Structure formats: structure tokens, C-alpha cells
Structure 1
């Protein structure tokens, strides 16, 4: 049984490995040899009444395509289904899910819209973020207003659906500012993080912070702590597969955050930061992570806390660099 994920099981036998993942009454299993897979399938069939579906192609709405070049996970069918469900299949495609000048608020004077339909749209899109990180920020921002949705909120939601019709996401470039106190209701900031495993983006998040930040440094520090916790979870999970890692690089576009995390002395400007976020400093001192500065225009995680605009080729160049030489090559992009 996995030390972190209790629904993950691994078996090593005769130089081969069998991996089993359970979700309620669904099971995915695979291995390094057909003998292990066949043996497990036969044993499960004897113990339980199950249906062996063969090679994995669909799972919980996800489509899986396996080939010599790797495994590709997408939700093309699901996307077509929700566009048809909300009657938006014939709309004009949009390049980005949200405009950079969109500033949503409660809009109490706006016209109310059908709450049931709006929540249905939110729920459908939230599941789609499992494979579409480009819409994560826009969907989470609209979800904040599902208790009392207005026409302006539905218009923003419709643009997200229109962006699903575009086959090419484009190359987002964000303006050089943080979403500090970005929520127009409670002035809380939005944390945006993403994690890579090799050259693959495997995890991402966009969520409003629980407390009001008094400075951009504090907002970035909290976001970095959130990213650190996810990296530690990934490190612990991968250890079950016999993979070990030293210092994991954590790219931050704020030199102030790096100085705070590396300096054990609490200055007057940082003493108000909640102690639970200072575990970032603890794990830096333990050698679990390595904090590295990256220029704001090259920070990929920015699309998770502010709307992108299609301009320039910065992220396309970074993506090509990662695919060619791996994430470590990003160090050449970092400022001195």
C-alpha cells in the first residue's frame, strides 16, 4: 500500500512491477510484464465479480491514448458533450478564456440569472480543468459568484465555453504584476502554482488565499508555501516507486520571497505572516527544495492567478526549451 495514497498498491516480483490504483469500484492496473497483469486479472476474477475492459481508453470521463511516444490524456468527448449541453457548439471561438480587463465583482445591481444553470456550467468546467489548465483561473474566479450569479458573471462564463472551441490555446503572456488583493469583495489574493514531473505538467492549482495579505511579498510567500507542500506530496508518492530526489527546484518570480525563506531572522515586515507558512523556510534549510528566481514574464504559473493575453512567444519558447533539454534548462532563463 502506498505510504501517502492509500488507494495505490504496488507489487514487485521477479524483477517486474505491478501497479494498482483503486477509485471506489473502479480499478486501473498495469505492469512491466504481461504475466503480472494476467495473474492479477485472473485472481481478481476468482475473488470478485468484475468486468475486464482491456487496455485503458476511458476512465471517469478522461480519454487515454497510449502509443510509443507516451500516454496522452484528454477530454475531447466530454468537451463536445458540455458544449452541446449548454447549446454553445455553434458559437464563435475565442482565443483566451478571459479578457485581461475583466474585473468581476458581486455586481449587486446587475440582472440575476438562473442559479441552477450557472452552477451546472461551473461544475462541468471544474471537471474539465483536470486536463485544461488554461481555463483553471477563469473557472475558479467565476465560481466565487455562484451563490448569486448576475448577467456579467454569465457573460464571463460563456467566454470560457467559447475558448473551448479554439483548437490552439496560443502563447499567453502576462503583464508584470501579482494578483495582490485581487478579489474586489474581500481583497484576498489568488495563489497560482503548477508542478512538473520531467517535461510533463502534472499538477496545477488556482485558489483564493484564506487570509488577507498585507503585501505582495506575503501573497507570493503563501503561494510558494502552497507549491512546496504539493512538491513534498509528489516526492513522497514517487518514493513508493523507488524514485528518490534531492533538492527540488521551486521557481519564484519574487526575490523578496527568496530572501525571506532563506533568512532565519524574522524582520518587522514579515513577523505578521502566519507561522504555518514558514514551513517553506524549514524545508529549504532541510534541503528538500531549492528556491530559484525566474523572471515574471517567464513564470508559467502566472496563468493561474490572472487572465492571460495572447501576445509574444515567451511561454512557447520556454515550452520548447523544456521539451528539448528538460526543466533544468530553465535555470538559464533565470535572472542573476
Structure 2
């Protein structure tokens, strides 16, 4: 089934759907991972985005329930060069096409993904639309221009959990207090801004009893649970477009140890009094080099973000930069000099990606001791 991809700048790409008919819009971005497509698809940080994989062959190892990072596919559409319909892996329980169809997500193959990626690198991330229904280029370009984009848009409330839940037996356990989650030495409340399940797995492995709460939970409600620490998860979109959350985070300063990842890092930056800005085409993939300024060591990291904290807007008397991106020197980590708070922009929980940064979860445990 023929499909057209139209970008807001008038560029058109052709492909064919391997999941049926449909039409959807989003910001078109690329991911450089050679594997991990299932984790990418189920990462809530991709809400509002159409993802292009730069690796040419996708679907060859199928899908399985163990590799989900949330309860559903989160991307708006999935663009690839070549789809492999017959998976060859002992862990596979289904095909990529069926996985996408279950959540009515368009999968498009036959795209010149190298050309599309190069175009995004030159022009920056662009709004786009994918359709098998409207094949008029002029009509699709106008629809792409009229689509909402990400700037100023609150996507967190579209992906956060509706009710609190615990983490037990490697899966969500419904309930609004620590009695519903697996027992552990350290009680951690995790703000769900669009978190990935592997963050909960890694906390549980480190003797943490984890209670997940919606993004709208107040600081008073968090403190009433008397946790040993507070975790700020990743999530989608523009951190400056999420009302109310920054005030709740600021109200926790000095009360409990805090560890933030990705969007959690950006929200902390705003809570510190700083600002954020949109990157030209973002950092997405499993091979981003990051330097730890406190040790001089280099980490290869998994990343997925389109916004970043502006280091020039932070007060150096209060905030220390701890990590930078070696490709563009953007902020990759920071800590508060007075309070037990630290955060990173990248994804130390991997899934997919390297394990270089797992030590950060151990640092959070040490902070709670």
C-alpha cells in the first residue's frame, strides 16, 4: 500500500505501509540504534514523534513482552528502509507488523532513510505527516504545516499513569501506597512523566520499594508518603510546556534526595531558575559520547531528547555541571551544591543501549543511605 511522507518544508518521501492504511502527524526524528526497535517504539519520550531508524533492516528479531518499556506503542508512526516479516530469534513471540497494528500505528518501509536523516540533520527536526489515504503532495504539505508540533505542548499528561501503582514481580501492581509494591530497604516515589519500565527494574534490583505516581501529584502528597528518595523520570516534549510540575519539584528541594533522568533533568533545570531550548535535531540513539567532568571518564550513552538545559542560565554557586555531550558540549548532567539532588540528560537505564552509566543508580542509593 503506497504511502507518502510530507515535511513542513515541502519535502516528500515515498514508501509503502506494512501495517495497513492510516494517516498521522508528528515531528519527524531519527534514531541511530542498530537494534532495540521495540524499546524505542514503547518509550513514552517518543510521544508526538514519527521515528526513522537509520539502521536499514528492522524486524529481523521480532518482538516479545519482556522488552516493552511501557504498556503500549508510543510513537506516532515508524519509518524504516526494509521490513523483515519473518523474525529469527528464540525470544520472539510475534512480528513487528502485528505489534504495530495492535495499537493502530503506521509502519512504513521502502523509505530512503539515509536521505531523510541527512535532510533532518541539515534542516533540523521538522513537522511531518504520513498517509496512505491522502496521496496529494500539496495537501499533505499543508497538513504538515498545520500540525501542532512539540514546542509549548504538554505531552506529559498524555503518557503519565492515571492512578498510582507499585512495581512487583517485574510488572506494574495497582495500588496507591507502598504495600502494593515489592518490599525493599529504600522507599522511592517515582514521578511518571513518561517513564520507562527498566528504570523501575533497576531500582528494584537495588533493594528499592518503588511507588509510581502521576505527574500531577503534589509535593505534599509525596512527602506524606515519607519516601527515602524521589525519582524524576524521562518523558516527551517541551519541558517549558508542562504547567505546575516545576513548582512541585522545587517544593521538594532539601526535603528528600532527588534523582532525575532526561525530562527529569530538564525540569530540575527549570526548577533551579534556568531555561531550556530546542536542539536542532536532538540526540537519539545508543552511541552518544558523554564526558563525566568529575572523573574525566567518557561514557557511551543511550539518549532520546529534543530539548536541553541552557547552562548559561544556571547559578554556578548553586549548580555544578557534571556531564557534557562531546558532540556539541550540551548539558548532560548536573548536581545541586547544597541539596542532595543530581540528574543526567541521557538514559543510564539503557534499554536499549550500553551499560556504562548504571553507576548513577548506585549513586542514588548511596544518597538515600
Q: TM-score when scaled to structure 1?
A: 0.30
Larger Rg: 1
TM-score by length of 2: 0.28
